[in-house]
Amino acid sequence: MVTGDVKLIGSWASVFVMRARIALNLKSISYEFLQETYGTKSELLLKSNPVHKKIPVLIHDDKPVCESNIIVQYIDEAWSSYGLSILPSQPYDRAIARFWAAYVDDKWFIALRSILTARGEEEKKAAIAEVEERTDHLEKAFIECSNGKPFFNGDHIGYLDIALGSFLGWWKVVELDANHILLDETKTPSLFQWAERFCNDPDVKPLMPETTKLAEFARKLFPKPQA
Amino acid sequence: MVERSEEVKLLGMWASPFSRRVEIALTLKGVPYEFSEQDITNKSPLLLQSNPVHKMIPVLLHNGKPISESLVILEYIDDTWQNNPILPQDPYDRAIARFWARFLDEQVYVTAMKVVGKVGEEKDAAVEATRDLLKLLEKELVGKDFLGGESLGFVDIVATLVAFWLMRTEEVVGVKVVPVEMFPEIHRWVKNLLDVDVIKKCIPPEDEHLDYIRARMESLKLKSV
């Protein structure tokens, strides 16, 4: 089977890039990884994603695909005969997976990030409370979607696992920054256990950034205001 | 063919572009459905139960099972009723269609709302920003009858928010956000849309719609004072 020429423009630290890489791993697609340098944007990136100028960008036979969740769906559809399905097979299950993936990006991630950008204790506490509330929704989503199986997608990782699981490196970093547990074994036990399984998945493990390295990068990206 | 046992219900709102786009999709595919007009200022138990996370319309109920978020609903409709496909067949074209749909909802809609909600310099800035975004859509339409190509597709359905909401608001807002001299392709595309029966059937009636927009703008102005 010929996969064509596949390139991915990205960065080791990006959650959104990781989504694309996990999907490519799931389908055993070899690709050239073009690491962007932090602080600059390459010519190829600007040309391939002129609208948003953001990573990741998948370039398949010179045709660019942008937006991480769109890239993951593209990978599933373009290489549908390779490996396992990333999206569930039933329309209703697909809708639920898409709904929660959108929730992760539009609500949950925004709350998580606001912990890092919070100014002062009050703002931080409010942000933490919001993350806890939204993580609680995701716990319920997991129970609903997994139906007793190990992953949101069932027996193996899929679209929603990838959408949320790619955050696990940053999730830990934000916990450290907030000095507050954000993935609690007692409050959200299903998610907690799922997280461990997800990180140990062979298609995920080599991509998950090391916490110390990521924390150091986070300090660059989210500098603390001078006291 | 739709079985007798199939039950499709849409919890929506007559003036909402997000609700109307679902109606366009269902109508395009000839799917019979029950429309349930929701009062978003006084949300029904059914709405709250069907979309507990966002508590918003539209919600599609198919045989009692709820689906929320208009883009998710559109894809569900396309996955479930495969006649008259809305999304293209080719994976790359699908990715491009999804990209533009997101762009419309996350960038165009959000920026355009600021035109309505702000005054003075902030309003002018919002108009400029909206125009910059629309220039990308203008480019996409060159040589095409619809954003979907030769016929109406996913992106056209999502972009009705530009054709029949943003452009209709111009009268009320008092700013020509999308002047024909700057956006001849978009204007041509709106005319093409109005020739499509499904569109004519599914967009809110103009007069009532303008009255509604005027009333909403008044209440927004009162809130910002």
Q: How many domains does chain A have?
A: 2
CATH of the domain at A52: 3.40.30.10
Q: Distance from A178 to chain B by nearest Cα, in Å?
A: 26
pLDDT value of position A227: 52
Cβ-Cβ contacts under 8 Å, B6 against chain A: none
pLDDT value of position B173: 80
Q: Determine the structural domain holding residue A148 and report its residue range.
A: 89-219
- Does domain B8-80 match CATH 3.40.30.10? yes
What are the tens digits of pLDDT across the range B77-131? Answer: 999 999 999 999 999 999 999 999 999 999 999 999 888 878 889 989 999 999 9
With vertex at residue B155, the alpha carbon angle to CA B149 and CA B160, rounded to the nearest 5 degrees, is 110
What are A7's strand-pairing partners?
A32, A59
Domain identity same for A104 and A209 = yes
Helices H / strands E in chain A, number of each? 10, 4
- Would A213 be classed as within a structural domain? yes
Domain identity same for A104 and A202 = yes
Domain identity same for A113 and A169 = yes
Cβ contact A51–B103 (<8 Å): yes
Instruction: Tell which wins on pLDDT, B83 or B222.
Output: B83
Fold of B91-224: Glutathione S-transferase Yfyf (Class Pi); Chain A, domain 2 (1.20.1050)
Predicted structure pTM score: 0.95
Cβ contact A71–B95 (<8 Å): yes
Residues constituting chain A: 227
Q: Distance from B76 to chain A by nearest Cα, in Å?
A: 6
- Would A83 be classed as within a structural domain? no
Cβ-Cβ contacts under 8 Å, A91 against chain B: 76, 79-80
* Candidates B53, B76, B136; nearest CB to A95: B76
CATH of the domain at A127: 1.20.1050.10
- Domain end, chosen from A77, A109, A140, is at A77
pLDDT value of position B224: 55
Half-sphere exposure of A38 (CA within 13 A, CB side): 8
- At B1, is the pLDDT very low, low, confident or very high (cuts 50, 70, 90)? low
Cβ contact A94–B75 (<8 Å): yes
- Would A226 be classed as within a structural domain? no
From B74, which residue of chain A is nearest by alpha-carbon distance?
A95
Cβ neighbours of residue A84 closer than 8 Å, sequence gap 6 or more: A26, A156
- At B3, is the pLDDT very low, low, confident or very high (cuts 50, 70, 90)? low
What are the tens digits of pLDDT across the range A84-124? Answer: 999 999 999 999 999 999 999 999 999 999 999 999 999 99
Cα separation, A219 vs A224, in Å, equals 7
Domain identity same for A97 and A73 = no
pLDDT value of position B171: 81
Place of tokens 């547990």: A181
Burial B9-29 (b: 16+ CB within 10 A, else e): bbbbbeebbbbbbbbbbbbbb
Whether ipTM tops 0.85, in short, is: yes
Average pLDDT over residues B20-40: 97
Cβ contact B95–A74 (<8 Å): yes
Cβ contact B72–A102 (<8 Å): yes
Domain identity same for A192 and A106 = yes
Cα separation, A160 vs A96, in Å, equals 9
What are the tens digits of pLDDT across the range B46-69? Answer: 999 999 999 999 999 999 999 999
Cβ contact A67–B72 (<8 Å): no
Q: What is the pLDDT along chain A (227 residues), one digit of tens a residue?
A: 567 899 999 999 999 999 999 999 999 999 999 999 988 999 999 999 999 999 999 999 999 999 999 999 999 999 999 999 999 999 999 999 999 999 999 999 999 999 999 999 999 999 999 999 999 999 999 999 999 999 999 999 999 999 999 999 999 999 999 999 999 999 999 999 999 999 999 999 999 999 999 999 999 988 876 55
Cβ contact A95–B72 (<8 Å): yes
- Would A224 be classed as within a structural domain? no
**Residues of B near A (CB-CB distance < 8 A)?**
53, 62, 65, 67-69, 71-73, 75-76, 79-80, 91-92, 94-95, 98-99, 102-103, 136
- Would A84 be classed as within a structural domain? no
- Domain end, chosen from A77, A108, A125, is at A77
- Would A82 be classed as within a structural domain? no
* Candidates B65, B92, B103; nearest CB to A63: B92
From B64, which residue of chain A is nearest by alpha-carbon distance?
A92
Domain parsing of chain B, residue ranges = 8-80, 91-224
Domain identity same for A65 and A129 = no
Domain identity same for A50 and A116 = no
Q: Distance from A226 to chain B by nearest Cα, in Å?
A: 30
B220 has pLDDT over 80: no
- Would A53 be classed as within a structural domain? yes
Domain identity same for A158 and A61 = no
- At B18, is the pLDDT very low, low, confident or very high (cuts 50, 70, 90)? very high
- What is the H or E stretch that residue B9 is in? strand B8-12
Domain identity same for A183 and A132 = yes
